[in-house]
Structure 1
């Protein structure tokens, strides 16, 4: 039985022309070899599985080839190429920096660089995963990398360029590898399938290529996995979906059709089928968001070309995109984003997901409201008289939920003062009075209202003799206790505590004593306007005001012990032996 060799190793490129999707790099390297403009150090960086180490090996082999072709490719038959292919070359050394990242490893490498090659023009060192070197190893490598011998060339490869020291980057010629396009990968997989006598459906190869996300090595690993899964050497699309646990895009197309026709029953039944197949709810909602994004892109030919899908799938998206509006797609994506954020923290994730689909299901009725006997279309705007502004019909703002807000009740027209009250005026009783009129004015005033504060309005009422009814201290105390009891029954403990203090009446000013300025600030911000408005209303006197008196207490001579030094000094004064023990034992305290 022959040993099985994975496709990533068996079909690893040995020449620049066989490298997939990196023509901008292979062309530059071949021209550098032909013109003999080779740098002292190369840095290959990019995502995993895109050909960095492969290109480094091809470059090393081609540089030392004894019969380089006119196209800049190695011959593959000379002693240098043969020894490299058999891993017996003494001039090409490959080092894994992930397991040899210490200073000693780099020093051993520098010692080897001193000796010229026994055969060939150059001595080449390939250092893979170079970002794993320690800072000390990088620093030890700096001088040799900057001024190596004329026969030494370093080729560094990494997936994380940002972890490499800038002093190393400045000494290298940097090549950035791109993610391989899925079409190039699908073509490469098709050629491998032909060589292996495997019958592969184009849709299956396209699915593997898209799932690989730009990494050819990942695509080859998934290709081997699915070939092993099949028993008749045939690669089918449905088998790839099952083996890689990918949710078919047809499910998303069907659910979107149910959403546009407001068939919530069909959507929920289809969701149950998806969940019974073992797919996670968060995986579904993420895929559905991607599907809605593709529908939005499919509305324009320019953005449709950006989608990394097959032409057949593009046609399906374009057909469904014509049935959906942009407002519907944006609102649905917003609802899905909220569902994805709250999915993990939900106690019933399944219900959370179903509620998300129900919200999306009723979006069409929100954006296209129809009336009885009407056609559901919005009326065209009509121009008003000369000098008046024309109101344009605009698309509604994307709602968080598809529930329409009820129309607020009409406010009874009363002669009120047009003013803007920037502070929060508390709700009073239903009895009509000037203060409640002010609160009603707050809801009906427009942008032309004057910027007059609530204190100025109440001050104007207090100057009116008709609004200054006499009252006694007993009546004031009764009203004050009633308000405190109301706060207590409403569980407004903070307000109750602020009011649960003795008061004194001097003229029309209520004096209340507090301990500090913080309590004054809290009372003025949270309680003052509400209490003052209700007292004036119930006593029918708008000249009443509240004054807070801060109680001045005598300062204590006792010093507070905050730091460790303060505590030590206090104990040393109280117990002199403590200082003597500190000196004899050579102790010290923390600062």
Structure 2
């Protein structure tokens, strides 16, 4: 029989060949390994575990390693341990998936109560040879409601020789009654740093040369999944005829050259649409997919925005040198407004390219839209231009634009000046003991000041009543006469009187007029003012010019000066608070 390394032996993919067999070789799950190590050391081993995480992070692998740990047996006898450096009596059979006491079930194809009933019946019998009978149920969220309910009693009080290990990618679909009976472990995505080192070690063991940039592309495409990364690495080795190069990985993944993508981004943000279309055609001729190109532009836009907000993001090991250096440079030169607008256009454009019959044409239209949007004026510049006023002067430290937009205006590529920080001398006030501060009372001289006082006191009930349910008849110090709208609760009068006494320190007589209510409430007056303001806004020459410049635009909101809220009552400031320090 041919040996495992014989040329006649079937090839074993990297994801299976380098599948971890103990916790020392499990990648990127240190927190879980530490927790399990403490539990085993203290002999506090739970009878049920649930492992959750995205695809390929090691859920099933962890379950098999746990089955080995439960059933570890050597010359000294059976004893659960995480130290699996030396194979025990049952380890080989468990690793190869043929141990009679370790039962693996795929819940995706065994979803019903009858499948679970077989487990319930079999747990009554002790293990054949191993210390524990271990049930591993993969994709447990696929079980039916009846199957979950049938499992509850056995899962809560299993025999002492039974262990359950569940694995799922959809933890939210697992009933809380099941989760409460299990020790839960969330397996995390493997970070790019750890994944890069892991792939390098595997390539070293295989004796295969590689380029760091190619490895970074694979790590980015693998999205933190060990299995996906190893599958992509397998494919890259085959595609590159035994070596892993950036060129072959780009061709394999349908990626454009990252440096050319950055060139394309700079051309678009600089408004150089002719150069951008030429670059796009060149990348397309080299085999790049139009939809992938738009996605790459969106990814790079996100990267630049992220670096602008979190400069340390430029240190990510999965980034290429061009992305790291030029991304940081662009983050310092582009304003946030231009980046967020570019992201919105590319995000929507990606869907358009996916639906289009001709992806290249759709992608070019997205680029044209982005290039022309890059030099759109800000709202302040637009208003100043339409009203024939000089545009707001740039801040002293702001540099001139580095390019011209397709319409001849300045491009979005301009340096953002740091905001000036003003320092003011603040006089230090002596702290006053809170017990010595007496709360001062407010004074109210008009009905509108009363509404403002209710607003300042955050009394929503009284303010709504004053604005929408009452009409003032007369107002003088200590006495108010109002007319109530139809359907108003009369108890609001007593509430208003009590609030006034609390706020002003004096008794107020609040009377209800016997005359039928006439005129408008404060709220109705406001609504009339808003309607009149909208009508006046549409007649304003500047607004008309803006609406004609941007077809389809409309006036959404008009701010009206509110006399009721601007008339501030004489409310004393709150007493100073004591410093806890």
Q: TM-score range by the shorter chain?
A: 0.5 to 0.7
- Which residue does the alignment assign to 2:300? 291
Q: Distance in 2 between matches of 1:248 and 1:202?
A: 15
- SS for the counterpart of 1:199 is coil
- SS for the counterpart of 2:137 is strand
CA deviation map 1:140-191 (0-9, x unaligned): 1111111100111101111111121221111111111111112211111111
Instruction: Choose the corresponding residue for 2:64, options 34, 57, 70.
Output: 57
Q: 1:96 to 1:243 in 2, by over 3 A?
A: same
State yes or no: 1:274 paired with 2:297. Answer: no
Instruction: Choose the corresponding residue for 2:170, options 160, 171, 174.
Output: 160
CA deviation map 1:548-571 (0-9, x unaligned): xxxxxxxxxxxxxxxxxxxxxxxx
Q: TM-score, normalised by structure 1?
A: 0.61
Give the superposition deviation at 1:286.
Answer: 2.6
- SS for the counterpart of 2:90 is helix
State yes or no: 1:422 paired with 2:545. Answer: no
Q: Distance in 1 between matches of 2:271 and 2:303?
A: 21
Instruction: Choose the corresponding residue for 1:173, options 168, 173, 183.
Output: 183
- Which residue does the alignment assign to 2:245? 236
Q: Is the 8 A contact 2:533 2:560 kept in 1?
A: no
Q: 1:420 to 1:162 in 2, by over 3 A?
A: closer
- Which residue does the alignment assign to 2:371? 361
- Which residue does the alignment assign to 1:14? 21
The range that moved more, 239-248 or 348-357, is: 348-357
Q: Is the 8 A contact 2:21 2:95 kept in 1?
A: no
Q: 1:272 to 1:38 in 2, by over 3 A?
A: same
Q: Which runs of 5+ in 2 are unaligned?
A: 1-7, 382-389, 399-405, 410-528, 544-557, 564-581
Q: Distance in 2 between matches of 1:420 and 1:99?
A: 63
- Which residue does the alignment assign to 2:548? none
- Which residue does the alignment assign to 2:222? 212
Instruction: Choose the corresponding residue for 1:32, options 32, 39, 53.
Output: 39
Q: Is the 8 A contact 2:305 2:339 kept in 1?
A: yes
Q: Distance in 2 between matches of 1:220 and 1:95?
A: 25
Q: Is the 8 A contact 2:70 2:80 kept in 1?
A: no
Matches within 5 A, 1:203-352: 203-231=213-241, 233-302=242-311, 304=313, 309-310=318-319, 312=321, 313-340=323-350, 342-343=352-353, 350-352=360-362
- Which residue does the alignment assign to 1:81? 91
Instruction: Choose the corresponding residue for 2:118, options 105, 108, 112.
Output: 108
Give the superposition deviation at 1:117.
Answer: 1.9
- SS for the counterpart of 2:116 is helix
Q: 1:195 to 1:99 in 2, by over 3 A?
A: same
Give the superposition deviation at 1:52.
Answer: 0.6
Q: Is the 8 A contact 1:420 1:450 kept in 2?
A: no
Q: Is the 8 A contact 2:102 2:134 kept in 1?
A: yes
Instruction: Choose the corresponding residue for 1:201, options 188, 211, 218.
Output: 211
Q: Distance in 1 between matches of 2:314 and 2:81?
A: 34
CA deviation map 1:76-105 (0-9, x unaligned): 433122332344423222122222222222
Q: Distance in 1 between matches of 2:127 and 2:539?
A: 93
Q: Distance in 2 between matches of 1:440 and 1:222?
A: 59
- Which residue does the alignment assign to 1:5? 12
Q: Is the 8 A contact 1:208 1:222 kept in 2?
A: yes
- SS for the counterpart of 1:223 is helix
Q: 1:255 to 1:148 in 2, by over 3 A?
A: same
CA RMSD of aligned residues (A): 3.7
Give the superposition deviation at 1:377.
Answer: 9.3
Q: Is the 8 A contact 1:103 1:136 kept in 2?
A: yes
Q: Distance in 1 between matches of 2:121 and 2:192?
A: 44
The higher radius of gyration belongs to: 1
Q: Distance in 1 between matches of 2:48 and 2:538?
A: 78
- SS for the counterpart of 1:153 is strand
Q: Distance in 1 between matches of 2:59 and 2:538?
A: 72
Give the superposition deviation at 1:216.
Answer: 0.7
Give the superposition deviation at 1:340.
Answer: 3.8
Q: Is the 8 A contact 2:104 2:137 kept in 1?
A: yes
Give the superposition deviation at 1:138.
Answer: 1.3
Give the superposition deviation at 1:29.
Answer: 1.3
Instruction: Choose the corresponding residue for 1:43, options 25, 47, 50.
Output: 50
- Which residue does the alignment assign to 1:429? none
Q: Is the 8 A contact 2:254 2:289 kept in 1?
A: no
- SS for the counterpart of 1:208 is helix
Q: Distance in 2 between matches of 1:8 and 1:40?
A: 29
Q: Is the 8 A contact 2:256 2:288 kept in 1?
A: yes
Give the superposition deviation at 1:327.
Answer: 3.1
